[in-house]
Structure 1
Amino acid sequence: DVAIVVFGETPYAEFQGDVDTLDFLPTEPLETLKRLKAAGIPTVSVFLSGRPMWTNPEINASDAFVAAWLPGTEGAGVADVLIGDAAGKPRNDFHGTLSFSWPKTAKGEPLNVGQPGYDPQFAYGYGLTYARPARVGALSEDSGVVSTGSSLDRYFVDGRFVAPWSLMLRDAGGDFRLGAEKAGASPRGGVSVRSTDGAGQESARALAFSPAGGMAMIVAQPVDLTRQSNGEMAIAFRYRVDAAPVGPVQLALGDGQVDLTSLFKAAPLGEWRTLKVRLSCLRDAGANLAAVEQPWGLRSNGAFAVTVENIRLASNEGDTVCPTTR
C-alpha cells in the first residue's frame, strides 16, 4: 500500500500571508506523515501552495514529495502522473520543474537566481522524473528563524483551534480551558460549548450562556498585532444567533471591548452572518495590540446562544465596522 497525503496552505489575506516567514506551520500533516512512516507505509506528499515554503520536516517524512502549487480545475493532472496502470507502471511521467527556487531555510533569502549568496534547497529548474529519479538525503530541520509558535492571523479555522491558540471558558467560578475535547463548560456553568456543523461538518462551535453569564475566549502567549492594526485589518468571524441575548454582549480583544448587543438582537435566528471589527477600533477601546494574548472573546451578562466559526484576521474591504465601546 502507498498513502497519498495532500496538504498545504489555507487561504489568507494578501496583507501578510499566514506567517511572517516561509515556515509551513500547521502540525497535522507532519504528524500524519510520521504516523504512516512509523507504520511502514510508503508516503507521497502532494503540497499545495501559492509560493515556495520551507517544508524540510515534511520532505524528510515523505518517500516522495510533489510541489503541486495551486492546480485548481487541473488537479486531475496530478493524479495522472501519480496513479499507475494495472501493472503498477507509470501511465505518464513528470515534466514540470521548479519555476521558483525552493528555500533552504524559512528566511528564504537569497532566493533568486543570480543574487549574491544564492544557495537554495532546490534550485530554479529542479525536478525529478520516473525516468531520471534521485534520492534526496536527510535535510536540515533547522528553520533558521526563531518561531513564536503562533499563528498571527488564524485562530479557529476548519473546526480546529490553530496551535497554540485554545478556547477558555470563564465565569464567577474560574476558568476552564478546552484541550482535545469538543465540548465543555465553565466551572459554574455560566458558558458551555459544543462542536456543531457550520460551513462544514463540525466546523463550528455552539456557545450557550446561562442567565448568570460568562465569557468564551481564545488564548495563548502574547503576540504583537500592531502592524496588522496599522494595515487596517479586522478580527472576523462567522456567527449564527440561536437565541437572542437577554443582557449585554461584548466582543473583547484583551482589555478592549465593543458592544455587540444590538447587532445580535437584530440578527435573524438561525441565519449565518459575518462580522469584521477593525483592530484599530479595539485598540481605541483599550486593547494593547503590542501584547495580545486574547485576540477574540465574547462576554454575555445574561442568557444567550450563538454559534461561531472561522475566527481570524481579515483585510478591510470596506465591510468592517466599529461598534460602540462599553
Structure 2
Amino acid sequence: WNGHGQVPGCTKSDCPQSLNAGVDIFMVPDEWKELYTNTLNSVQNEDITISRLDDAVRRVLTVKYRLGLLSGRVPHKYEHNYIGNENHKKIARQAVRESIVLLKNNNQTLPIKSNKHILVVGSASQNISSQMGGWTITWQGRGNLNSDFPNTLSIYEAIEQKAKSINGSVEYSDDGTFKRKPDVVIFVYGEEPYAEGDGDRKNIFFMHHNKSFINSMQKIYDQGIPSVSLFISGRPLVVNQELNLSDAFVQLWLPGTAVEGIGDVIFTNIDNKSEHDFVGKLSYSWPKLSTQADLNHRDINYDPLFEYGYGLSYKDNIFLATLPEENKSSKSDEITIFVGSAYPSYGETVSYFSPEKNERVYDGINSDIYIDKNSGFNITKFDFKKQDDAKSINFGSKDIYKTWFIGSGSSEDISYMESGSVQLILRPKKISSEKITLDFGCYKTQEQIKNSGSSVCYKSIDLTTMLKDNFDNNWKEINIPIRCLMSSDFEASNLTLRSQLSTTGDWELELHSIKFINNQGYNSCSAIISNYE
C-alpha cells in the first residue's frame, strides 16, 4: 500500500525505480492518476524501457489468462477449487474450539447442560459480519449482509442448533426481556469490525455502540439469572464491568465462519457430558486498568488482570471476585457520526413515502452501491481523503418525501457541547428548487416532558440557502452551532436520530463527514461556512 513511495528518490505519484526493479503492479489508492501520467512520461523519456514495460504487461496478462479472465471462465469454477471444502470446514471448527479462551467460570456456569431454556441477547449474535472482523468482503468488514456468507451460521443459529440437539430451547432478545424465564442467558457482544487505522482508539475500554446494552446485562444480573458473556474482539480490552455482570466469560476473538465450534465447547452432550473442554490460552496479557495499554509479560511491574498464557478449563475451580470498575463515561470533545463507509454508522438508512402502499418505507443501506427505483435514491461510496470515506447521495427526481439518516440503537448525550457545533463536510453537486433540511430526533422522559412543557423532541435546520449560496463545485465545511438545537422541543442529552437529510427535491450531495465537535466558542445560532481543502 503506497510502498513505492518509500523508495529513496520516489513519491507516491512518481516512482520509475520500482517498475525497473521488478514491480509489475503498483498498489496506489489515492494518487493513481498522477502515477499513471508520470509512469507514461517515464516510458516516453526512456527512464523505463519498453522491454521492461512489456515484461510487466506480459506477466499481468499471464495471471489473468490462467484465472480464465480472458476466456470467459468464472475464476472460482475449476476442478481444483477448495472453497467450501468440508475437510477445511472441520479444521476451521477445530480452530474455533481450540482458540476461544475461558476467562471466568464462577459457580460452574459452563458447560450448559441439556434441557435448558436459553436467552440469547445481542445483535452481534445474529449479524455474521460481527464474527468476521475487518478485511472481509469489504475493507472495514461492515455493512455485509448474512446472505453474503453462504453456508455460514450466525452465532445465534449455531447456539440454537446445538441447544435443540440436546433438547434445549432458545429465545432471542435485543434488550434482555423474555417471554419465558431462561435457565441461562448468553450475551453476545463486542467490537464492531474494523481494519487498519479505523480501529485506533483513545483508550482501551470496551465501549459498546449500544450504550443501553450494559443495562440489559445489569437487569439479568439483578434477577439472579446465570449469564455467560461471549465477547468478540481482536484484542484484549478493559471489560471489568462486563466481567462483574457475567457468571462466565469467554473470549471468542474473531471466530469466522465455523462458529459451531463455540457450541462444541460451551454445551454438554444430551447425557450432560462434555465432549470438548477449553484449551485456548491468552496470546496477549489482559489489562485490568485503562492505563495498561502497554502491557507485556516481561515488564518489571507486570500486573495484568489475566496473565499471558492464562485460560481456564472445566477442571479448574477458580472463583473470580468482583473487580474494580473505572468510570469510562468520559465526555468526548468529538463524536463522529458518519465518515463514508469507513466508520461505524450505527445504521445508515433511507426512507420515503410510498403512494402505492400509502405508508413510509424504510430500507437499510448495506452495499457499496444502493439504487432504489421506487424512491429514486442512488447512493454510492467513493474515496475523498482516504479509502471509502465519502458517499454520493442522489435523492432522485421523484416528487416524494425522502430521507437519508443515521439512526441509533441507543441515545447520545451532546448536552455538554453548548459551545460546540454540528460539522458537515460536503459538496453540493445538484441544486433543487425544493428545500433540504438537516434533522435531529431525541427522546424525553416523562419528567423532561413536564419540565420542558413539550412532548416534541425533534429539531430541523434548513440547509437550502446555505447550499445554494455556496454552489461552486468546492467542498464545504459547514459548522452549525449546537445552540441552534436548544429549545423546549429538543432534549440534547438523549439524541437518538443522530442526523437526517430530508427533501422532496432532486438534490445531489457528496458527503464526507458529520461530527459533533465541542469547544468551538459559538455563543449564538449562526452557521459558519468555509471552503474545505
- TM (norm. structure 1) is 0.56
**1:110–1:118 CA contact under 8 A, matched in 2:** no
**1:54–1:143 CA contact under 8 A, matched in 2:** no
In the alignment, what sits opposite 2:362? 196
Three-state SS of the structure 2 residue aligned to 1:78 is helix
Q: Deviations over 1:177-228 (max 9, x none)?
A: xxxxxx9xxxxxxxxx96723257xxx9x9xx9xxxxxxxxxxxxxxxxxxx
One-letter amino acid of the counterpart of residue 427, structure 2: V
Q: Deviations over 1:109-167 (max 9, x none)?
A: 3311112322211110111111113111111111579452975465632479xxxxxxx
Three-state SS of the structure 1 residue aligned to 2:314 is coil
Change (3 A) 1:73 1:286: closer
CA distance in 2 between partners of 1:299 and 1:253 (Å): 16
Q: Any residues of structure 2 matched to 1:262-273 within 5 Å, and which?
A: none
Name which one, 1 or 2, has greater alpha-carbon Rg.
2
CA distance in 1 between partners of 2:333 and 2:224 (Å): 30
Q: 1:54 aligns with which of 208, 232, 238?
A: 238
Q: Confirm whether residue 298 of structure 1 aligns to residue 489 of structure 2.
A: no
Q: Any residues of structure 2 matched to 1:1-326 within 5 Å, and which?
A: 1-17=183-199, 19-26=201-208, 27-142=211-326, 146=330, 148=332, 152=336, 154=343, 156-158=345-347, 196-198=362-364, 232=386, 235-236=389-390, 241=395, 243-244=397-398, 254=423, 256-261=425-430, 285-287=476-478, 298=501, 300=503, 303=505
Change (3 A) 1:138 1:250: closer
Count of residues paired in the alignment: 234
Unaligned residue ranges in structure 1 (runs of 5+): 161-182, 184-192, 210-229, 264-281, 314-323
Give the strand-richer structure, 1 or 2: 1
Q: Displacement, 1:43? A: 0.6
Q: Displacement, 1:13? A: 3.9
CA distance in 2 between partners of 1:59 and 1:256 (Å): 40
Change (3 A) 1:65 1:231: farther
Change (3 A) 1:231 1:238: closer
In the alignment, what sits opposite 1:189? none
One-letter amino acid of the counterpart of residue 363, structure 2: D
**2:427–2:474 CA contact under 8 A, matched in 1:** no
Change (3 A) 1:138 1:31: same
Q: Deviations over 1:262-317 (max 9, x none)?
A: 79xxxxxxxxxxxxxxxxxx9962356xx9x99966365x53599xxxx989xxxx
Further displaced range: 139-148 or 73-82: 139-148
Q: Displacement, 1:35? A: 1.9
Give the share of equivalent positions with the same residue, in percent. Answer: 30
One-letter amino acid of the counterpart of residue 85, structure 1: N
Q: Displacement, 1:68? A: 0.8
Q: Displacement, 1:239? A: 5.9
Three-state SS of the structure 2 residue aligned to 1:45 is strand
Three-state SS of the structure 1 residue aligned to 2:477 is coil
Further displaced range: 54-63 or 17-26: 17-26
Change (3 A) 1:140 1:232: same
Three-state SS of the structure 1 residue aligned to 2:257 is helix
**2:236–2:286 CA contact under 8 A, matched in 1:** yes
CA distance in 2 between partners of 1:28 and 1:83 (Å): 28
One-letter amino acid of the counterpart of residue 94, structure 1: F
CA distance in 2 between partners of 1:62 and 1:94 (Å): 18
Further displaced range: 106-115 or 39-48: 106-115
Further displaced range: 87-96 or 71-80: 87-96
CA distance in 1 between partners of 2:385 and 2:304 (Å): 31
One-letter amino acid of the counterpart of residue 20, structure 1: K
Unaligned residue ranges in structure 2 (runs of 5+): 1-182, 338-342, 352-358, 376-383, 406-420, 433-472, 486-497, 516-530
One-letter amino acid of the counterpart of residue 218, structure 2: K
Change (3 A) 1:259 1:73: same
CA distance in 2 between partners of 1:58 and 1:195 (Å): 37
Three-state SS of the structure 2 residue aligned to 1:156 is coil
Change (3 A) 1:284 1:257: closer
CA distance in 2 between partners of 1:40 and 1:261 (Å): 58
Three-state SS of the structure 2 residue aligned to 1:197 is strand
Change (3 A) 1:110 1:231: farther
Give the helix-richer structure, 1 or 2: 2
Three-state SS of the structure 1 residue aligned to 2:220 is helix
